[in-house]
Amino acid sequence: MSKKITLVTIDGPSGSGKGTLSQLLAKKLGFHLLDSGALYRITALASLQKNIDLNNVDAVADVALNLQIRFDVSSDKTIIFLEEKNVTDAIRAETISMAASKVAAYQPVRSALLARQRAFATAPGLIADGRDMGTVVFPNAPVKLFLTASAEARAERRYKQLIAKGETVDKSILVKEIQERDDRDTKRSVSPLVPASDAVIVDSTSMSIEQVFDFMLNTIQKEI
Query: Which residues of this chain interact with ligand C5P, rule CB under 6 A?
Result: 14, 36-37, 40-41, 100-101, 104, 130-132, 181, 185
Q: Nearer to ligand C5P by C-beta: 178 or 220?
A: 178
Return the number of the residue (30 or 100) whose C-beta is nearest ligand C5P: 100
Q: For residue 222, with 0-12 CB atoms within 10 Å meaning exposed, 13-18 middle and 19 or more buried, which class applies?
A: exposed
Nearer to ligand C5P, 6 or 131 (CB): 131
Q: How far is the CB of 186 from ligand C5P (least distance, A)?
A: 10
Round to whole Å and give the CA distance between 187 and 185: 6
Nearest-approach distance from CB 3 to ligand C5P, in angstroms? 25
At its nearest, how many Å lie between ligand C5P and the CB of residue 49? 17
Which residue's Cβ has the minimum distance to ligand C5P?
A: 37
How far apart (Å, rounded) are the C-alpha atoms in residues 115 and 84? 21
**Smallest separation (angstroms) from ligand C5P to the CB of 196:** 13
